[in-house]
Amino acid sequence: MCGIVGYIGENDCKDIIIDGLKKLEYRGYDSSGVALIGDGEYVFKEKGRIVNMEQTVNRDIFASIGIGHTRWATHGRPSKINSHPHMSYDNRFILVHNGVIENEVYLRDTYLKGIDLVSETDTEILASLMSVLVKSSCCVKVGIMEFMKIVKGSYALALVDTLDNNRLYAIKNMSPMIIGVGDEFNMLGSDVSCMIKETNEFVPFEDMEFAVIGKDDFIIYDKEGVVVNRDSYISELNSDDIELGQYPHYMLKEIEEQSSVIRKILSEYYDDGFVVDNDLLSELENSDRINIIAAGTSYHAGIVGKKIIETMSNKPVDVHIASEFVYNTPVLSDNPFFIFITQSGETADSRACLKKINQLGYKSLTITNVAGSTLSREATYTLLLHAGPEIAVASTKAYTAQIAVLSILAFCISDYEIDLYKELSKVANTIDEVYSLKNKIKDYAESYLSDTRNCFYIGRGIDYYVAMEAALKLKEISYIQTEGFAAGELKHGTIALIEDNVPVLAIISSKDTNLNTRGNVKEVESRGANTLVISTKSVSNESDEIILNDVHPLLTALITVIPTQYISYYAALNRGLDIDKPRNLAKSVTVE
């Protein structure tokens, strides 16, 4: 859940490394640092945001090699000492690390006896271990191979040897890392975004591989030292896609990109009919049960997807939280199919599940926003979200993209009577109309949520599933303790929490449950709750605060979620919080 950038070439890399780190700050932002290699070795690091570290960098240094890191703390509190890069005890190796080492105590006690360590991190152990192993073998390559044999855990490492300023080294296992290929330079990064300004050509790593990288070439090896030949790919990402433009925050930008995302998905998957890999559709049709595995917002999208798939295809679907499935695997059917939903394609919990599924020999699909990501490469099939980069930690457009792609998949394996192209186009137009309500929603957020410590969302059916996502979004960035509940469950315990002026926000889009949910609204009002109703036109009352135009009943989640995203955004804005980078959270959860 940290970000890494590396560069080797002809140019001064100070700004390249720092700018790349800024593009990765969504991965971690409690500290950062750079190591710059030129006429000497210079390390600058600082607690807090990248701008804090940037102010300490000596601008007079010319460095043609550099590595940088932005941290989300796992081992050791956020501090300057614990910040990366870390140096080996003899100052030979400088290293940055994303991941968690499982046998750090063993490594320290076995290989580093008598060596003083200054930080609380597992990374400093790796830096000094590398020096010990290289001294023993008299060769960096052999030292790295020995390193990979004895280090247990997840790691993406970029390191420099101060005795050789013509090489940059990288080692990968279970944490993302890719090479950026340039003209008279090469780069390393945790993802494409930190390198796209410099190059659009990339080569992915697989687990248990390492690379020796020069300015004009690079060689990838497996753990035995055998050369690995792998083709590069060209990214379609544009550097403009990751800029804020006129927006004050990425979250607001990404909320207001959702109608365009729906239209982009239609353009990618429709050509006189929806076009999806026939082999994938056959696997789905022949399976006896679909299992969706995801985490966080993607899990909530999966629950909506379950309703859509089961309604359209009459095929049973189970939805699993990834971190639970991998260690508490349920009894599986005879011929299951697995769908992994992940914005980044690097989610560690989901990847652990996919590895288990692959070992069992089952077929799988990854639905992701990132072409070439680990889950995409390791699953049998991939469907892309085409949502463009999502930078804000709180996911918005990935959620709607995931539901849209799941609806296309459901339609393609069913005989359900729906003009899905027309209905999704209507969704896009309706989302455009919601944007015009944002000032009104801003006022509601200020009125309902400025001072509250607690909040509840309620709904039934798909509205309940949206309530769960709405609650997650609000707690993520406003730090208001928020829960999403099935409205009918209020009387079974939750209503005990209702007291004067507690906000209860109801989502109502279904004719079947409209009156039931409105009855629940009256129940909480009678106990002092401050209620707000988000409804669709066909089931609305004149007193409802936010009324949206109707869409197909199976697709209501795509529109009712938009006001809740705005509510979260403005609630956090009113409280003066860091919307794009909420405390204790990082975008890509690449450690279990």
Q: What is the pLDDT of residues 281-300, one digit of tens each?
A: 999 999 999 999 999 999 99
Residue 141: how many CB atoms within 10 A of its CB? 15
Query: Does residue 587 carry a catalytic annotation?
Result: yes
- Model confidence at 589, pLDDT cuts 50, 70, 90, reads low
Which stretch, 215-219, 236-240, 488-492, has highest mean pLDDT?
Answer: 215-219
> Does position 178 have pLDDT exceeding 80, yes or no?
yes
Q: Do 3-240 and 246-434 have matching folds?
A: no
Tokens coding 202: 């990339």
For residue 40, the model assigns a pLDDT of 87
d(CA 109, CA 144): 19
Let me know: does 472 contact 585? Beta carbons within 8 Å.
no
The CATH H-level superfamily of 246-434 is Glucose-6-phosphate isomerase like protein; domain 1 (3.40.50.10490)
Question: What is the average per-residue pLDDT within 521-527?
Answer: 93
Q: Which residue has better confidence, 6 or 494?
A: 6
For residue 242, the model assigns a pLDDT of 78
Percent of the chain past pLDDT 70, that is, above it, reads 99
Question: What is the average per-residue pLDDT within 33-43?
Answer: 92
Please tell me which residue in 172, 307, 581, 587 is annotated as part of the active site: 587
For residue 366, the model assigns a pLDDT of 97
For residue 39, the model assigns a pLDDT of 86
- Model confidence at 493, pLDDT cuts 50, 70, 90, reads confident
d(CA 314, CA 310): 5
Question: What is the average per-residue pLDDT within 261-287?
Answer: 95
Let me know: does 249 contact 569? Beta carbons within 8 Å.
yes
For residue 314, the model assigns a pLDDT of 95
d(CA 532, CA 223): 58
Nearest to 586 by CA among 6, 24, 19: 24
> Does position 590 have pLDDT exceeding 60, yes or no?
no
Residue 253: how many CB atoms within 10 A of its CB? 20
Residue whose token pair is 């406003």 = 478
Assess whether the previous peptide bond of 85 is cis (omega < 30° from 0). Answer: yes
The pTM of this model reads 0.84
For strands 336-342 and 364-368, give the pairing: parallel
As a residue count, the chain comes to 592
> Does position 400 have pLDDT exceeding 70, yes or no?
yes
B/e letters for 2-32, b = 16+ CB within 10 Å, e = fewer, are bbbbbbbbebbbbebbbbbbbbbbbbbbbbb
- Model confidence at 381, pLDDT cuts 50, 70, 90, reads very high
> Does position 583 have pLDDT exceeding 90, yes or no?
no
Residue whose token pair is 């009256």 = 522
- Model confidence at 74, pLDDT cuts 50, 70, 90, reads confident
d(CA 506, CA 504): 6
Class of domain 436-580: alpha beta
d(CA 484, CA 466): 8
Question: What is the average per-residue pLDDT within 422-430?
Answer: 96
Please tell me which residue in 2, 194, 353, 412 is annotated as part of the active site: 2
For residue 496, the model assigns a pLDDT of 82
Q: Which residue has better confidence, 339 or 326?
A: 339
Question: What is the average per-residue pLDDT within 225-229?
Answer: 96
Give the residue extent of every domain in the chain. 3-240, 246-434, 436-580
d(CA 317, CA 378): 22
Instruction: Enumerate the H helices of 80-170 as residue ranges.
Output: 104-111, 122-137, 140-150
d(CA 417, CA 410): 12
Question: What is the average per-residue pLDDT within 448-461?
Answer: 95
Question: What architecture does CATH give domain 3-240?
Answer: 4-Layer Sandwich (3.60)
HEC profile of 162-217: CCEEEEEEEEEEECCCEEEECCCEEEEECCHHHCCCCCCEEEECCCCEEEEECCCC
The DSSP secondary-structure symbol of 329 reads P
> Does position 587 have pLDDT exceeding 80, yes or no?
no
Query: Does residue 397 carry a catalytic annotation?
Result: no
- Model confidence at 76, pLDDT cuts 50, 70, 90, reads confident
The DSSP secondary-structure symbol of 30 reads S
d(CA 569, CA 591): 27
For residue 586, the model assigns a pLDDT of 64
Question: What is the average per-residue pLDDT within 237-246?
Answer: 78
Question: What is the average per-residue pLDDT within 537-554?
Answer: 96
Q: Which residue has better confidence, 499 or 44?
A: 44
Residue whose token pair is 């956090």 = 572
The mean pLDDT of the chain is 93
> Does position 415 have pLDDT exceeding 60, yes or no?
yes
SS3 of residue 514 by DSSP: helix
d(CA 338, CA 354): 9
* Tens digit of each residue's pLDDT (9 = 90 or more) over 467-482: 999 999 999 999 999 9
Nearest to 457 by CA among 538, 546, 521: 521
